[in-house]
A and B are shown apart, each in its own frame.
Chain A
């Protein structure tokens, strides 16, 4: 079964850190770009970061640059999001997704996890 399963969310104080994990199965993980997207409560979707198949290229939304780091382990089919210096505005459901790469595919996000909630509060 094609699947992405996120974990690692929870309650953290402002300024704290959290590492999210996303386990992939049922598709060729090592040949897939991966992405993180978040959704604050009651709000729309916001792209957070992309990582290339071999981890050699990473891209971030400006609001998390210098605080968040995306990484992956192709031997374990895992992608991570290390989140440091967390702020109230980072509170959201975090989704990992696969990017179906290529012009004909629109670089669409075709496989999504169920999401993991990150709550930033004192």
Chain B
């Protein structure tokens, strides 16, 4: 089983759509969780950290279910500029090596 597994996509959605990405992780010792965004041939950039209680940042909502080892990202009212690859990332307790999922590609079309 992969350490971090994501919907492979690609997701092609119209502007204004709501889209949800799922991610599962295999190591129950995973402590911290993130969603990063990566544009084509660019570096990953932090979109948001994921907290146990779930958190929202504007149009973006992240959820964590530790029992199911599942993380999600919801994007509401999607914009053209949301087109990117979304990376699910986990960090083990007392560790620094982030484990990345393979990413889910999103294309938002006019």
Bind each other: no
